[in-house]
Copies of this chain bind each other. A is one copy, B any other.
Amino acid sequence: MFEDAELGHTVAKDEYTKRSAELRQALLAAQYELKGSRAFPVIVLVGGVEGGGRGETVNALTSWMDPRHIEVNGIGEPSDEEAERPRLWRFWRTLPAGGRIGIFFGSWYTWPIVNAVMEEKKPHWPRLESRVNEINRFERMLADEGALILKFWFHLSKKAQRKRLKELKKDPLTRWRVTAKDEAYFKRYDRFREVSERVLRDTSHAYAPWIVVEGVDSRYRELAVAGELLDGLRHRLATPEGPNAVPATPDPTPSIDTDRTVLTELDLGQKMSRKAYDPALEKWQGKLALMTRHKRFRKHSVVIVFEGNDAAGKGGAIRRLAAAVDSRMLRINAVAAPTDEEKSHPYLWRFWRQLPRRGNIAVFDRSWYGRVLVERVEGFCSMWDWQRAYGEINDFEEEMTAHGVIVVKFWLAISKAEQLRRFKEREAVPFKKFKITDEDWRNRKKWDAYSDAVCDMVAHTSTTRAPWTLVEASNKYHARVKVLRTVHDALERALD
């Protein structure tokens, strides 16, 4: 979920000057149109990590638009008037009227997240879920009543936040801004990340999307938020009134600086020699073998997903993995087109069937992600179908992890040039020829569409409990060892 917001997105000064001038003008125009006949309320939530630039961005937004039609609500501790009424009362009283923009700096999300993070031991997930339900119903009602809702989450990686807090403290002019509370929050960065990821995932809807903004660079931040706000306003102003039809699933990634993605930022130049590979393979296979014989392993099962570019070396990696494990406990499921019986059930049915018993490992050579990859790109299912699949897949994996299943997911990535080289090699070598088909060449033509699908897939379905591991696979040795090591580490964490 936060992967894209840790890439270090920045915007150059020239570009900022040009784009911000355009945006300001367009935002003002949209704001005046909003004051016209349609006059729906606009609700903008601003949340995220300390030091992520929330306040600065709110200030920029209000200075860019007509401040007479904007209200900024800072949400702190409830007043005594507020404490004597039901929880949501304080938010109801500050809801913007039609035609106005209400910016909530802190919101109905603040306390549920803070409470879940700061609780002494483990966060009380059912209680948090109960709060999340309440929020979902509230926002659904607001949307049904015509409000446009946009939710921005300012994110910093742990490293970036540490740096940011240090900088603030060094400067006497900003030192006051770092409170003891901020330090306490930072100590719990990992839990904060896990809790907020979960809340964001469960409350991001087409009618009230979360947009995760990297908070490092102020120019990037401002353009990202202003750009998304403008898009949201324009889209709604252009949509006829009435109960919402099925809208598009929002893209959690801002549309500024999209040339840099989780895929483009992979270092595909990773090297590993045969000489380094042989002992590394042996080492990690051995460690993994030991792990699967651990007493506690019998209480878990493992599900390993392999997806990747054609010819990225999934098969080879799977074989090296299988070699490390007692074959009685491992089953490899090669996923092809569904059978008739499978087609007459929900699409996840054939994967549920293959879930392993305790103490067993199921490897999926391609998987349920087909729906948001090949089925999306090839148009085998409707947009509505693949968009709802993100949530259904998260639910599926949540069912697994809640039951103690260890879920490991790999995307094996190679460059377009490397793929061409491998395709040609396959065609040239007789015993490799069966591996290359016309379909591979057809898929290759849709390289960019597949890349988009992969980025969206990672943004929607990489979670703390079932994260994606992107594997630089141009060097097969590196890829295989990384796969083995990742599976080993996941088991080690779970059995610990």
**Chain A residues proximal to chain B, CB less than 8 Å:** 39, 41, 81, 84-89, 92-93, 95, 97-99, 124-127, 129-130, 133-134, 137-138, 141-142, 144-145, 147, 243, 246, 301, 341, 344-349, 352-353, 355, 357-358, 382, 384-385, 388, 391-392, 395, 399-400, 402-403, 405
Chain B residues with CB under 8 A of A124 = 126
Copies in the complex: 2
Instruction: Report the separation of the CA atoms of residues A138 and B395 in the bound assembly, to the nearest whole angstrom.
Output: 8
- Residue of B with least CB distance to A129: B130
A24 CA to B432 CA in the complex, in Å? 61
Give bound CA distance, A124 to B243, whole Å: 36
Complex Cα spacing A495 to B384, Å: 50
Residue of B nearest to A91 (CB): B352
8 contacts between A and B (CB under 8 A): A85-B355, A86-B355, A87-B399, A88-B399, A141-B348, A141-B392, A147-B346, A243-B246
Closest to A347 in B: B145
Q: How far is the CB of A167 from chain B (nearest CB, A)?
A: 40
Q: Report yes or no: B141 in contact with A395, Cβ–Cβ below 8 A.
A: yes
> Does B97 lie within 8 Å of A341, measured CB to CB?
yes
Known: A86-B402, A93-B352. 17 other contacts (CB 8 A): A84-B358, A85-B355, A86-B355, A86-B400, A87-B402, A89-B352, A92-B352, A93-B353, A95-B346, A97-B344, A97-B345, A124-B126, A129-B129, A129-B130, A141-B392, A144-B388, A243-B246
For A146, give the chain B residue with the smallest CB separation: B346
Q: Which of B98, B142, B399 meets A344, CB within 8 Å? A: B98
B84–A349 touching, CB < 8 Å: no
A86, A127, A145 interface centre (most CB from chain B within 10 Å) = A86
Say yes or no: A346-B97 contact (C-beta < 8 A), given A85-B357, A92-B353. Answer: no
Are B384 and A243 in contact, CB atoms less than 8 angstroms apart? yes
- Contact of B137 with A391 in the complex, beta carbons under 8 Å: yes
Identify which of B145, B246, B348 contacts A346 (C-beta below 8 A). Answer: B145
Query: CA–CA, A230 to B392, complex, Å?
Result: 30
B145 lies within 8 A of A95 (CB): no
B95–A345 touching, CB < 8 Å = yes
The residue on B at minimum CB distance from A100 is: B344
Quick one: given A92-B353, A130-B129, are A86 and B344 in contact (CB under 8 Å)?
Answer: no
Q: Compute how far the CA of A403 lies from the CA of B83 in the bound complex, rounded to whole angstroms.
A: 10
> A465 CB to closest chain B CB, in angstroms?
13
- How far is A226 from B180 in the complex, measured between Cα atoms in Å? 65
Given contacts A81-B357, A89-B355, A355-B89, whether A142 and B403 have CB atoms under 8 Å apart is no
Contact of B352 with A99 in the complex, beta carbons under 8 Å: no
A467 to B4, CA, bound (A): 49
The smallest beta-carbon distance between A75 and chain B, in angstroms, is 17
In the complex the two chains form, what is the Cα distance from A435 to B94 in whole Å?
A: 37
The interface residues of chain B lying within 8 Å CB-to-CB of A97 are: 341, 344-345
A210 to chain B, nearest CB (A): 18
A-B pairs, 10 with minimum CB distance: A126-B126, A98-B344, A145-B346, A86-B403, A92-B352, A97-B344, A86-B399, A84-B357, A84-B358, A126-B130
List, in ascending order, chain B residues with CB within 8 A of A345's CB: 41, 95, 97-98, 145
A148 to chain B, nearest CB (A): 13
Shortest Cβ gap from A88 to chain B (Å): 6
- Which chain B residue shows the least CB distance to A85? B355
- In the complex formed, the residue of B with least CB distance to A301 is B84
Q: Which residues of B contact A138 (CB under 8 A)?
A: 395
A346 contact set on B, CB distance < 8 A? 95, 141-142, 145, 147
CA distance A39 to B344 in the complex (A): 8
CB distance from A340 to the nearest CB of B (A): 9
User: Which of B145, B341, B391, B403 is in CB contact (< 8 Å) with A87?
Assistant: B403
Residues of B within 8 A of A388 (CB): 141, 144
Complex: how many Å from CA A264 to CA B419?
Answer: 76
A358 to chain B, nearest CB (A): 4
Given A345-B97, A353-B93: A403 and B85 interface contact (C-beta under 8 Å): yes
Shortest distance in angstroms between A460's beta carbon and chain B's nearest beta carbon?
A: 15
A137 to B246 CA separation, bound complex (whole angstroms): 17
- Which of chain B's residues have a CB closer than 8 A to the CB of A399? 86-88, 134
